[in-house]
Amino acid sequence: QQQVKQSPQSLIVQKGGISIINCAYENTAFDYFPWYQQFPGKGPALLIAIRPDVSEKKEGRFTISFNKSAKQFSLHIMDSQPGDSATYFCAASKVISGSRLTFGEGTQLTVNP
């Protein structure tokens, strides 16, 4: 059962533009929403994460927006750079159950110079 739906599947952005990736979840018990970044040949690495008690979290050029009522969250990458080209995965888990992260399908981001 796919509990986290991610869109778009792929995204092409010009350097300096804003990249936006969206995720929707079904399980209202989820209480931890991370985004992972994966470069070719590497494993996913935590980029930024949010808990449902806040609506936004910003770390540098990366911002998570969270809408609890809509059961949606999104990743915004401001001033996108070619080095941001990677696959991005949203995920969700119920921390108390032991970090069984459920991942979205992934978004392949390409930032053109």
Partner 1 sequence: DSGVTQTPKHLITATGQRVTLRCSPRSGDLSVYWYQQSLDQGLQFLIQYYNGEERAKGNILERFSAQQFPDLHSELNLSSLELGDSALYFCASSPRASTGELFFGEGSRLTVL
Binding-site ranges for partner 1 (CB under 8 A): 32, 34, 36, 41-46, 49, 89, 93, 95-106
In sign, the C-alpha dihedral spanning 56, 96, 47, 41 is: negative
> CB of 50: closest distance to partner 1 in angstroms?
10
Tokens linked to 87: 């696959």
Distance CA 15, CA 111 (A): 6
**Is 17 or 110 the residue whose CB approaches partner 1 more closely?**
110
> CB of 103: closest distance to partner 1 in angstroms?
4
**Which residues on neighbouring strands pair with residue 101, listed in sequence order?**
none
> CB of 24: closest distance to partner 1 in angstroms?
15
Distance CA 26, CA 43 (A): 26
Torsion angles phi and psi, residue 84, rounded to 5: -85, -10
In sign, the C-alpha dihedral spanning 80, 83, 86, 90 is: negative
**Is 26 or 105 the residue whose CB approaches partner 1 more closely?**
105
**Is 15 or 51 the residue whose CB approaches partner 1 more closely?**
51
**Is 18 or 45 the residue whose CB approaches partner 1 more closely?**
45
> CB of 29: closest distance to partner 1 in angstroms?
14
